[in-house]
């Protein structure tokens, strides 16, 4: 179980979480027993401005050490890197870092580049995974070729990332079985990362588990870009493993996420649902929600259908 609250949730607010919030999230998740806590990206400072983005976008070693100071950390820390937006040389070796896992995010077409990054991070001593985004747009031969290549790398797991919240249970079953066919014989796991555009984030994670997925993403109160993610509080309750503890999760939601939700928006609403139903990127829906027409659903639906015909 990997909670990616600080990483995926940060996509809503340019990763501008304040230091206290970051620390409280890590503290609660560590107490809850999740296996990994993803604290953000380690993005290149050449590609992204430190004026525009918050600390969780870069995850400097100093910042991370301060965030966990005095905590008895049982969960491992993870960061994400995007293909093309990472300066590997600027990132310390694993032995000099509190981070243990690096997750490389890419589209199907960039799996070669992702593998190159995986090899570099592996050489630096990190655990690695590859997260294949926009999976509902992937062509099966391309995906199968990529999975066959990934099976030969040092990754722990490759993820199904339903970026558009478009998948239903039967498609989840199909994809988990396809991933498993290539990965399991080589001792690698299938990962699951589902968005909530159709209120299926948690349900699809359960379906992935039923078919053998073993690396599971979630976020506190479902925070994440647009419709958000599978909620950590639901997944933790479902798994019923005695090592997990729900109370610290409820506590941090009560104290940190309810006030935050008044300031930034995430979760199910009609424009994100339309994007999910039409298997489209949520960017148009996010732009709508930021403007004065945020509840003009019929017009947005017509525009989205027109977009579909163009593409």
Could you list the residues that contact a copy of itself (CB under 8 A)?
168-170, 196, 198-204, 206-207, 210, 221-222, 231, 233-234, 237-238, 246-247, 250-251, 253-254, 258, 270, 273-274, 277, 295-298, 301
- Backbone angles phi and psi of 46, in degrees to 5: -80, -35
Q: State in angstroms the smallest separation of the CB of 266 from a copy of itself.
A: 12
Q: State in angstroms the smallest separation of the CB of 289 from a copy of itself.
A: 13
Q: State in angstroms the smallest separation of the CB of 258 from a copy of itself.
A: 5
Residue number, 87 or 168, with CB nearest to a copy of itself = 168
Residue number, 152 or 295, with CB nearest to a copy of itself = 295
In Å, how far from its chain's centre is CA 16?
A: 17
Residue number, 50 or 199, with CB nearest to a copy of itself = 199
Q: State in angstroms the smallest separation of the CB of 228 from a copy of itself.
A: 10
Residue number, 19 or 247, with CB nearest to a copy of itself = 247
Using the 8-state DSSP alphabet, how is residue 73 labeled?
A: -
Residues 58 and 45 sit within 8 Å (Cβ to Cβ): yes
Q: State in angstroms the smallest separation of the CB of 158 from a copy of itself.
A: 24
Give the residue among 261, 183, 157 at the shortest CA–CA distance from 219: 261
Residue number, 121 or 202, with CB nearest to a copy of itself = 202
CA dist 5 and 219 (Å) reads 4
Radius of gyration of the chain (CA): 19
CA dist 118 and 140 (Å) reads 23
Which class for 277: exposed (0-12), middle (13-18), buried (19 or more C-beta within 10 A)? middle
């Amino acid at each position: 179980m990997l909670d990616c609250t600080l990483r995926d949730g940060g996509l809503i607010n340019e990763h501008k979480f304040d230091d206290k919030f970051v620390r409280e999230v890590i503290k609660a998740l560590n107490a809850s027993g999740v296996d990994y806590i993803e604290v953000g990206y380690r993005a290149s400072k050449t590609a992204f401005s430190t004026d525009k983005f918050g600390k969780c976008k870069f995850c400097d070693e100093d910042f991370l050490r301060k965030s966990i100071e005095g905590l008895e950390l049982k969960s491992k820390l993870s960061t994400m890197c995007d293909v093309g937006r990472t300066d590997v040389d600027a990132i310390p070796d694993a032995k000099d870092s509190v981070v243990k896992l690096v997750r490389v995010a890419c589209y199907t077409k960039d799996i070669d580049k992702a593998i190159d990054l995986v090899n570099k991070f592996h050489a630096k001593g990190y655990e690695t995974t590859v997260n294949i985004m926009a999976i509902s747009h992937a062509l099966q031969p391309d995906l199968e070729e990529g999975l066959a290549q990934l099976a030969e790398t040092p990754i722990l797991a490759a993820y199904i990332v339903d970026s558009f919240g478009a998948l239903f249970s039967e498609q989840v079953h199909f994809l988990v079985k396809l991933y498993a066919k290539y990965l399991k014989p080589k001792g690698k796991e299938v990962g699951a990362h589902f968005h909530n555009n159709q209120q299926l984030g948690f349900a699809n994670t359960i379906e992935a588990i039923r078919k053998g997925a073993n690396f599971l993403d979630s976020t506190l109160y479902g925070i994440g870009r647009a419709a958000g993610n599978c909620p950590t509080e639901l997944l933790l309750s479902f798994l019923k493993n005695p090592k997990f503890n729900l109370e610290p999760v409820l506590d941090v939601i009560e104290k940190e996420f309810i006030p935050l939700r008044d300031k930034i928006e995430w979760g199910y609403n009609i424009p994100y649902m339309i994007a999910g139903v039409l298997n489209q990127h949520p960017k148009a829906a996010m732009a709508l929600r930021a403007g004065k027409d945020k509840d003009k659903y019929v017009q947005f639906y017509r525009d989205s259908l027109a977009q579909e015909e163009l593409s």
